[in-house]
Amino acid sequence: MDSTSVSLLRRLHTDEKEIAWKRFVELYAPLIYHWTLRAGLSDDDAADCVQDVLTLLVDKLPTFAYDPKKSFRAWLRTVTVNKCRETHRRNATVAKSTDPLKPDDAVSPDGVEGFTDQEYQRSLVHRALELMQREFEPNTWQACWKHVVSGDSASVIAQQLGMTRNAVYVAKSRVLRRLRDELDGLMD
Amino acid sequence: MKTDVCPDHDLLDSHLLGKLHGEQADSIDQHIEICDQCLATAQEVDATDELTEGIRAGKPVLHGSENGIEQVIERGKLLYPQTKTIEADETVSDYHLPQSANEPKAAIGGARKNIDSEIDFLAPPEQPGEIGRLGRYRVLEWIGSGGMGVVFRAEDPKLKRQIALKVMKPVVAASRSNKKRFRREAQAQAAVRHDNIVDIYENGEDLGIPYIAMPFLRGESLQTRLKRETKLEQCDVLKIGREVAAGLAAAHQHGLIHRDIKPDNIWIEENTGRTKILDFGLVRTEGDDAGLTQSGMAVGTPKYMAPEQAQGQSVDHRCDLFSLGSVLYHLVTGKTPFSGGNCHAILRKVSYRSLEPLDAVCPTLNPDFAKLIMRLLEKDREQRPETAAEVVRLLTRIESSLRANTVQFDETLENSATTNQPVTPPPVISQTAKPSEPPTSGNGGHDNNYDPQPASPLPNPVTETTWCGIAKTFAVMAAVLLVPSLIYLAGNALFRLATPDGTLVVSVTGDDFVTTVKGKKVTIENTLTHDKYTVDLLSPEQTKKLPRGEYKLLLTVSSGLKTRTDRFTITGGKNAKVEVWWEPKATKVEYVWPKDQPAPAIAPFTAEQAKEHQTAYAKHLGVPVETTNSIGMKFRVIPPGEFRMGSGEGEILKLVAEAKEQDFDNWLDKSIPDEGPQHKVVLTKIFSLAIHEVTRSQFRRFVEATGYKTDAEKDKRGGFGWKDGNWVRDPKFLWNTDLGFETEQTDDHPVVNVTWNDSVAFCCWLSKKEGVTSRLPTEAEWEFACRAGSLTRFSCGNEISLLKWSAWYTGASRHTTNEVGTKAANAFGLFDMHGNVWEWCADRHGPYTRATVIDPAGSSQGEMRVMRGGAVFLHPTSVRSAVRGYNTPNSPNDNFGFRIVRSFQKAKPATIPSDTD
């Protein structure tokens, strides 16, 4: 197994950048979509807003990756909040021009603000795990999953999966390592 | 590399959490796989942190449907590889351009240097005034350059004419495939000779550089004009649209797709005003998908391109129709349909966003035109008009309808002027401050101020009863011309608009403004004196003194009478134009079905349900479903019910286009729009309808009993039939003679060469004979019975393949009628409703109204009588359920017949609600 895995952010600069971008989208689009919906946008607006954010990312990600001082999470959220506000503003103008009585109350970017760091990380980790699952041997994956999620002892898992206890620990270590590598620079 | 040293507790903890990397991590993995000591330690260490806790805590639930998430992912993935940063109104080409060639157009300031580099490939100048030579041309001036080419003004020394020389840039021409393509495109374009496509004089190559010589056009591009005027007048847009569509039709006919229709590429010639399509730089041969284009690349100009182009899918000629729609939209509204944001945003909008309806953005637009533009902009190309030729036809029709209106009004004016009026000079009355001065500009009466002034709510609510009649009126747009020079036409209608439900008359009596609309109120305010003149229209006619001056016209909005031109001036020398139209009030005509009878047959219903309705009503009346009258004619019960009569707007457009395409009978072509507006019809009365058309033998009974002479017999010209291979009118062609058909006429053939008068005479005889009313069906009864619950073109569906089982039709010029009942019956058990012979209906032919009608009996005016069902010689399109034929009541023909209704004596008088909401 290749142990020197390169983070997703870095891969966006390599020859694999097209594949990396697709992974990035798979990883982040649902989360951004969730934010934009929570910000009170309609389905259509939310989907467009996601695309706006991603359009910006496709341009800006290269410069971002080399700036480890920045928090990607905070940056992404700021970008998303701004795009949501833009959409709201546009809608409000449209609404005002046709219906002066409609209150300008649709703007609630708090939906995004209220989304906690913990939730961000959890969503990201789970989404990444989903996407990465097929990169592992089923047993390796299962061993890690069971050990981390169900808290079963290494002996129980070893018995269930027909592997040594040692292998269970190795499996856990590998999956988590891979996960950390992949998300390097994205979690904070 | 394997380590034999056991990692300590903390290091193992970190390792198990996946925090170590590289060789260190690998070696520890290899070590603990076999180390019992480490296994023991591993069981002791906690090895949990935020990450594992996060995994353990489970996945947070995110908003968004599965479908929605899938879509944002798919769309996001398409963002890569990044599209070049370009402006949304720039052409994205699929030429293989070297980086340097693809730089944006030179800015004015730095243009010189670029131009130098763009002309240095020319051969040196040989005469003063030239900047160089190419081929046999004297290159005189650089006009502009784009990504792949440069355009020069040049002169053909032989013909001494100015030309435009489009030259491929040397860097681009370095690619052989580019060159090959450039030449192929020029050839393709040269093959299309059309007034609305720029000509090609020569397609050549010199010094390794391909070029195209074209006429040097004077005038300006539509883009230049748009920059100056923002938007254009409707009539101009119609003309430009028609001409571009005509050019496209020609190109498409040659299998060429332009792919880059936009204002930049549309030229308006200076003197002729003719529109020319320019720049076939992206032209594609239809069906040529291979090789030259990188697949998946969006080619065209984002602001105007079709969704299928934006998504890099394969395109056909209909992408040009979409772009034409975008251009027209831009021309009428002053902005592109999909605007705002960068190129990505626009491509996205083009693909995914629905468009703001044009009638909301631009309410002054002719509704048909607005509809057409919206159809062109359909994301699904199947929903667009099928061909550019169809667009030309539709635009022509709209143009001529607009012209027709104007002409009609002019005629009205002329009639007033000539017929009723002693010619006296216009009175000169000084009533306002400066009467002799022309009206002030800007707010003058001729100024079409399209900002709808909120009409002041007038206190007098028009009673619903009186208004109801007008509310049924379909929307009528009328230009009311108040022409002060005609003010002396005392007492004359300046304009009169008659509808089935009321008449609007705007007339001028001396200085009086007379308006007659029953149940309406018009207020006119002098803008100088603020004197208000209210024309209270509750009485049949009201007259108000109206001195010269400037006026505001206030109409009650709630009642549906509207105007956009709220000001007009009564003065000498200038025309004042007032536009007034009705908007139908949403009327809710709800018929309350009596409780003591079976459920009405409300379309749509199935064939089975149709029979159930018949059975239920037959039982209700205590009669069998099928009855026979005294001369052996069979009738079937038709239940009361409701249905949508006529054809919908979309269907009509489609039918007109189809008919044009297939070159159907002209007379029927023209009557297709008469099938609209589609409207709800309630038929409250049960009746029975003959299952067959009246046959020759049945008609003979009538003639024998009464000695009746048909119109054809009385008219020396006789009826119609086939004589020596020609279809002619001849005294020998009568209801009972041989008509020269391919097959002999038997007793069971439908009687033909009978007129509407003859049919009615037959019914009278039969009614008198039996003591039971026999009559022609109304048009509504006929269509309801024909449809038998179906909403489709034919009672058997939309498929022509099914129609042949239930109808006689051919589409062949030579025709012969067929014995009745030889094809399948419809769901009500009626034969030959579609085809065989036209069937006279009781009604006069008149326009439909949009409102719901109860037991309609046709128009009260007009001479024409309706015929239904089409005839054997017609195409399937002309034997549809909704087809409306008509003719004069004394016209016999060898394909005109009829079928009759027999009423039930026991029929109950239905409850018709009062004529109010």
CA distance B470 to B474: 9
Q: B345, A52: Cβ pair inside 8 Å?
A: yes
Position with higher pLDDT, B749 vs B25: B749
Q: A34, B64: Cβ pair inside 8 Å?
A: yes
Position with higher pLDDT, B466 vs B456: B456
The answer, yes or no, to whether residue B322 has pLDDT greater than 90, is yes
Which top CATH class is B601-902? Answer: alpha beta
Chain A interface includes B17 (CB < 8 A) = yes
Q: B16, A169: Cβ pair inside 8 Å?
A: yes
Q: A173, B25: Cβ pair inside 8 Å?
A: yes
B365-398: pLDDT as tens digits = 888 899 999 999 998 888 899 999 999 999 988 8
Q: Where are the domains of chain B?
A: 9-55, 114-215, 224-397, 422-431+439-582, 601-902
The answer, yes or no, to whether residue B917 has pLDDT greater than 60, is no
Pick from B252, B255, B146: nearest CA to B196 = B252
CB within 8 Å of chain A, chain B residues 32-71: 32-35, 38-39, 42-43, 47, 50-52, 54-60, 62-65, 68-69, 71
Q: How confident is the model at residue B584 (pLDDT cuts 50, 70, 90)?
A: very low
**A76 contacts in B (CB within 8 Å)?**
none
B13-29: pLDDT as tens digits = 888 888 888 888 888 88
Reduce the secondary structure of B214-253 to three states and give it as a string.
Answer: EECCCEEEHHHHHHHHCCCCHHHHHHHHHHHHHHHHHHHH
Q: How confident is the model at residue B206 (pLDDT cuts 50, 70, 90)?
A: confident
Pick the residue from chain B with its C-alpha nearest to A24: B77
Pick from B735, B891, B759, B885: nearest CA to B817 = B735
Pick the residue from chain B with its C-alpha nearest to A176: B18
CB nearest A148 (choices: B56, B60, B76): B56
Winning range, highest mean pLDDT, from B84-88, B151-155, B409-413, B745-749: B745-749
Fold observed for domain B114-215: Phosphorylase Kinase; domain 1 (3.30.200)
For CA atoms A110, A111, A114, A118, give the dihedral sign: negative
In this structure, the number of other CB atoms found within 10 A of the CB of residue B798 comes to 13
C-alpha distance from A1 to closest chain B C-alpha (Å): 9
Q: Is the ipTM of this complex over 0.85?
A: yes
Q: Which whole number is the average pLDDT over B753-759?
A: 94
**A48 contacts in B (CB within 8 Å)?**
348, 352-353
Specify the range with the lowest mean pLDDT, choosing from B581-595, B648-662, B835-849.
Answer: B581-595
Pick from A45, A146, A123: nearest CA to A91 = A45
CB nearest A29 (choices: B15, B42, B73): B73
Q: B774-775 and B853-854: which strand pairing? A: unpaired
CATH superfamily of B224-397: Transferase(Phosphotransferase) domain 1 (1.10.510.10)
The answer, yes or no, to whether residue B558 has pLDDT greater than 70, is no
CA distance B823 to B807: 6
The proportion of chain B whose per-residue pLDDT surpasses 90, expressed as a percent, equals 23
Q: A180, B62: Cβ pair inside 8 Å?
A: no
C-alpha distance from B232 to closest chain A C-alpha (Å): 24
Pick the residue from chain B with its C-alpha nearest to A170: B29
Q: Which whole number is the average pLDDT over B542-568?
A: 51
The answer, yes or no, to whether residue B97 has pLDDT greater than 80, is no
C-alpha distance from B42 to closest chain A C-alpha (Å): 7
Q: How confident is the model at residue B453 (pLDDT cuts 50, 70, 90)?
A: very low
Specify the range with the lowest mean pLDDT, choosing from B125-134, B346-355, B646-655, B856-865.
Answer: B346-355
Q: A180, B342: Cβ pair inside 8 Å?
A: no
Q: Which whole number is the average pLDDT over B598-617?
A: 92
Q: Is B380 a catalytic residue?
A: no
Q: B54, A4: Cβ pair inside 8 Å?
A: no
Q: Which of B260, B320, B711, B894 is catalytic?
A: B260
**A33 contacts in B (CB within 8 Å)?**
62-64, 68-69, 72
CA distance A76 to B837: 73
Extract the tokens encoding B395: 């635009």
Q: How confident is the model at residue B105 (pLDDT cuts 50, 70, 90)?
A: very low
Q: What are residue B842's phi and psi, to 5 degrees?
A: -70, -30
CB pairs < 8 Å spanning A and B: 161
Q: A51, B63: Cβ pair inside 8 Å?
A: no
Tokens 């919906």 correspond to A37
Domains and CATH numbers, chain A: 1-115 (1.10.1740), 126-188 (1.10.10)
Contact assessment for residue B819 and residue B676, using Cβ atoms and an 8 Å cutoff: no
- Give the pLDDT of residue B546: 54
For testing contact with chain B, the best of A44, A89, A122, A142 (most B CBs within 10 A): A122
A108-126: pLDDT as tens digits = 444 455 567 788 888 899 9
B871-915: pLDDT as tens digits = 888 888 889 999 998 888 999 999 999 999 998 754 333 333 333
Q: Which whole number is the average pLDDT over B242-266?
A: 88
Q: How confident is the model at residue B549 (pLDDT cuts 50, 70, 90)?
A: low
CA distance B892 to B718: 8
Extract the tokens encoding B840: 């006279």
CB nearest A125 (choices: B22, B55, B348): B55
Chain A interface includes B79 (CB < 8 A) = yes
Q: Which H/E stretch holds residue B325?
A: helix B318-333
Q: A55, B38: Cβ pair inside 8 Å?
A: no
